[in-house]
Chains A and B, each alone.
Chain A
């Protein structure tokens, strides 16, 4: 069985599991069943946070050697968060392969490993929304605002939530 067959098969398994037994607040699946290497996901804003009530679409791109290498995740909506680049790319340790740690702050145990899964990534991202990690800001402005002017930060987040819902 070639690696890419392994990747397709494994993605199919993950898709089935997520469809049959979805975790709360998370929906994910291939954009098109012809291409299992591009997924879209919807994440609900966690309750009790300014993201509450929001629905955040994201895109997951899987490498051909998945699960050896992690996918890339990118929000396709406006999101103001210390760990999300202005482009929407998500910066979170579970999406980083254990090999390279340019910042030397992440524990190897938090990083990507082939036994991680889409489900675990999305759950981690959900908890990242609730608790930003400002040690490694991807969006420096958002991180500073989160640290120093929390109410302003929350206001922007809520505005984005409303915008995202078309209100």
Chain B
């Protein structure tokens, strides 16, 4: 994906002839994600956010981000009016912006007839919709109804308006009513309703034949499904699920519950809990959506989460604040940078090790110790992080894959999560090469006299002083009496905070 892609932003209106639209643009955005509202929900304190954003906020601290009033997700209500505003604005935005950017001649404004606007829209589709369509089309299992849904996306905002005036039970062909026909029985209904209707379509036709349709509750009539609100009562979408009372469950029970909900149940307890919270948020916000997605798509989202913040996260999000071990396994792991950043610590460890020994061990001896440690670590980690390597192939950059979750996720859905390395020669090879790299680096970083250490210790003597003193850094240092050793490194420890590698440890 292009790094410099245009992300619609309120500041787009800056310095155009319609700069006052900046406020409108801003007002139609969720203040949590700064994007246009996606399935806006209103809190009991009357603030509106995207469904997923506010659910994540509530899961994190149970407070409204705007006014900090305590609230809970069960009290959220949909805000259809805002949804319509957003849909309409998004539709008109590209053309309006283009016009606003052009010279402010009256000519340009007059040409903005409704027709021109509509035609433009087809060309300059809004990005999000575009991705949605791609994601839908590229699904492995595409039903006819889903294709229709994707095609109908562009007109979805119209439908909502048309719904109230839609005829009760319309069997006639009406191409412009914004509804779609059931591929089996040809009944026309709102696109969202088709998917649910499909499951019961056969059943209903059967009943109709048997004349039983009258005795069935009215909820089965397709006409009622035309109204979004009554649709909710009539045929509720997949029911919302609630958070578990995590503290009451032991790990085995939690693992079992999580397995029952159909999401991966590997990893330590804390990860299980976080994963389940994320899943509940994804699931429930999908229930709120007027265009709900399939469970499969939600699972893909969860997988993306896993790779950015969960158990397969690349070297960042870890409750303990340390770099997660899986990052070392990544293909693009910056070994040299790691060695450099941790040079201070390495040097300290070396100094300490030397202090403990009256006589320093031979170079060979130490190398062996270190090698066996590293090898042991790597092999013991491998099973725990069985997912980490594979996804890293898609994460060579932070931004692009995360902005296109759909693309990314379906492309690796073919991999058997249980044994990601099988038949994967590349991965195996890279593991091996990494092990040798690490070994090389560790021997380099212990072999400082010729290159980095002396120079860096000179350069930053005042500023980041935990660098090994010169005497220690060079091999002859071992002949220096040991009582001289402790002074400098110990004295300098206080100032360690100025070194960048320490920053994460300092509150």
Contacts and interface: CB of A to CB of B under 8 A. Distances in A.
A13 B35 contact: yes
B68 A98 contact: yes
B61 A97 contact: yes
Nearest to B63: A98
A17 B498 contact: no
A13 B503 contact: no
Interface of B: 3, 7, 9-11, 14, 31-35, 38, 52-53, 56-57, 60-61, 63, 65-66, 68, 278, 301, 304-305, 308-309, 313, 316-317, 397-399, 402-403, 405, 497-498, 502-504, 506-507
Contacts of B66: 113, 115
Contact of B304 (A5, A20, A91): A5
Given A35-B398, A97-B61, A5 B403 contact: yes
The 5 closest A-B CB pairs, nearest first, are: A87-B497, A4-B308, A20-B11, A2-B304, A13-B34
A65 B60 CA distance: 10
A88 to B, nearest CB: 7
B380 to A, nearest CB: 26
Interface residues of A, number: 46
Given A2-B308, A6-B33, A17 B9 contact: yes
Interface string A38-80: 0000000000000000000001010111011100101000000
Given A2-B301, A2-B305, A85-B497, A34 B397 contact: yes
Contact of A68 (B57, B316, B497): B57
Contacts of A4: 304-305, 308-309, 402
B405 A65 contact: no
B244 to A, nearest CB: 20
A1 interface: yes
B57 A114 contact: yes
A64 B316 contact: yes
A89 B503 CA distance: 8
Given A65-B309, A98-B61, A16 B498 contact: no
Contacts, number: 129
A140 to B, nearest CB: 14
11 contacts: A1-B52, A2-B304, A2-B308, A4-B308, A16-B11, A61-B504, A65-B60, A68-B57, A74-B503, A114-B31, A115-B31
Given A8-B402, A9-B35, A3 B498 contact: no
Contacts of A19: 11
A35 to B, nearest CB: 6
Given A2-B305, A3-B278, A114-B32, A8 B403 contact: yes
A40 to B, nearest CB: 12
Contacts of B313: 64
A59 B506 CA distance: 14
A10 B33 contact: yes
Contacts of B498: 87-88
Nearest to B497: A87
A133 B60 CA distance: 28
A86 interface: yes
Contact of A86 (B33, B398, B497): B497
A32 to B, nearest CB: 10
Nearest to B47: A115
A14 interface: yes
A13 B33 CA distance: 9
A113 B60 CA distance: 11
A64 B32 contact: no
A6 to B, nearest CB: 5
B56 A3 contact: yes
Contacts of B403: 5, 8-9
A2 B278 CA distance: 9
Contacts of A13: 7, 9, 34-35
A50 B276 CA distance: 51
Interface string A108-149: 110001110000000000000000000000000000000000
Contact of B7 (A12, A33, A61): A12
A2 B382 CA distance: 26
A95 to B, nearest CB: 11
A6 B53 contact: yes
A59 B502 CA distance: 14
A99 B59 CA distance: 12
A47 B506 CA distance: 30
B305 A3 contact: yes
A74 B305 CA distance: 28
Contacts of A9: 7, 33-35, 403
B34 A89 contact: no
A21 B313 CA distance: 34
A36 B308 contact: no
A5 B398 contact: no
A88 B497 contact: yes
A114 B57 CA distance: 8
A33 to B, nearest CB: 6
Contact of B32 (A14, A67, A69, A88): A67
A37 interface: yes
B397 A113 contact: no
Contacts of A65: 60, 309, 317
A10 B52 CA distance: 14
Contacts of A91: 507
Contacts of A72: 503-504
Contacts of B61: 97-99
Contacts of A88: 497-498
A113 B497 CA distance: 28
Contacts of A20: 9, 11, 14
A17 B317 contact: no
Nearest to A117: B34
